[in-house]
Amino acid sequence: MIREHYSRPMKKILLFVFTICGILISVPSFSCTSVIVSGKATKSGRPVIFKNRDTGNLNNRVTWIQGEKYGFIGLENASKIGEEEWGGTNEAGFCIINTASYNIKDDDVPSGEMDKEGLFMYKALGVCATIADFEKFLDEYPRPMGVETNFGVIDADGGAAYYEVNNHKWVKYDVNDPEVAPRGYRVQTNFSECGRREDYQGYERYLTASAIMDEAWDKAEDGRMDIDAMWFVNNMSRAYRHEVLGVNYNDNYDRMVEAGAFNGTCVDQDFIPRRITSSVISMDGVKKGENPLHTVMWTTMGYPSVVATIPLMVCDGDRLPAYVKSEGKVHSELCDLAMKIKSEYVFPSVLSNGKHYLRLDNVLKGTEGRPSLVSCCKSSEKAIGKSFGKYYGKWVEGRISDDEFFSEYVSDQGNWMKIYKKEFDTYIK
């Protein structure tokens, strides 16, 4: 894979950073940043699959659906309930995500017959248990498939792979293969390695995500990294760093403000979290032989720095919290709350071009006596994770049954929303 890391001393790039602040480059509306880590490269031995979703469809929800063979939970646009999934997991422990690609379409199929990745994943979640099932599904899917994308998949047998797919063919990148992924992980944004180099998109985010993974690898012991699904939410979805410019606001916020190089507001350009980031799904898979239902889909309903991440589980029925679903409405309650905070405190509408200006003072530091938004997220998630972990740990250890776990899981869900609202009380009016 192409890896070009840009590293420049801060003093040398500050002028460049602020010179380009007014240059807003047009990028595709449908993007995303993703990573797959093989279970061979994690301390837990469990694979992880992560997707930071960028899209113009900011109203998202999660739905439980009974598929042709398997029940599954999936991330949806609120406007298309039960028609398309933009990532999810099923009862068999099969997990799938995608990132849009812009460099592998090689035919004249009209645009009106494209962008069917959500429908494809909806169907795959209902019938696939393993990577082998998915490859058979790919081979037998009607052509043209209506896709130009990178699908990421993990399964309960330890499988972990990306598939670069267009209307008629696909190329596999096995994350368990040391020749393909020497360190046991792979990053994908909005280009396909097998496609045209001149049409790469999302390469800036690819560089940043790759640098973050390289740093995690540098801390690995015996080739295993101390990372899981929530690690990705905090270290990627809330990473305000830019590898091309050599800027890391998370680590250098105070120093840059004190130096007069930054006043707390910056241009939202090519960070992993973007104004059009609508949600995050980061899934802890299972080890081979483990109960596939132990898979956890940690889900962030909205811009990741303004909302707590919730553990979502799949079983033979709908056990999802009401606030991540529509419950007869168009939007999920949690997503609506996140969008409200984001619009008031992250992207100021008072500016004529406000949607491009990011209030990092609110996100990373807090203003007017309020704690930072990120600290509110982390406090919420610490409490939610502690509560969930008590009975989840017993379940994984075999000390409680599936029924006992899901009974506690359902009864605990209301507490998570209370925790979130309490931590964000100074932002929720």
- Percent of residues, the chain, with pLDDT higher than 70: 92
Check whether 26 has a pLDDT greater than 70: no
In a domain, 429, yes or no: no
Condensed to tens digits (0 to 9), the pLDDT of residues 169-220 reads: 999 999 999 999 999 999 999 999 999 999 999 999 999 999 999 999 999 9
Q: Give the C-alpha separation, 32 to 279, whole Å.
A: 10
Supply the pTM of this predicted model: 0.93
In a domain, 246, yes or no: yes
In a domain, 3, yes or no: no
Beta bridge partners of 76: 61
In a domain, 61, yes or no: yes
In a domain, 47, yes or no: yes
In a domain, 210, yes or no: yes
Q: Can you give the pLDDT at residue 28? A: 57
* Single-letter residue type at 162: Y
In a domain, 1, yes or no: no
SS (H, E, C) 3-25: CCCCCCCHHHHHHHHHHHHHCCC
Q: Give the C-alpha separation, 417 to 217, whole Å.
A: 34
Are 333 and 302 a contacting pair, CB within 8 Å? no
Give the Å distances, CA to CA, from 29 to 25, 76, 236.
Answer: 12, 16, 20
In a domain, 4, yes or no: no
Give the closest residue to 145 by CA, choosing from 172, 127, 118. Answer: 118
Confidence band for 349, pLDDT divided at 50, 70 and 90: confident
Q: Can you give the pLDDT at residue 329? A: 62
Give the closest residue to 253 by CA, choosing from 238, 267, 263. Answer: 263
Which domain, by its residues, includes 126?
10-423
Domains held by the chain: number: 1
Condensed to tens digits (0 to 9), the pLDDT of residues 232-281 reads: 999 999 999 999 999 999 999 999 999 999 999 999 999 999 999 999 99
CATH classification at residue 177:
3.60.60.10
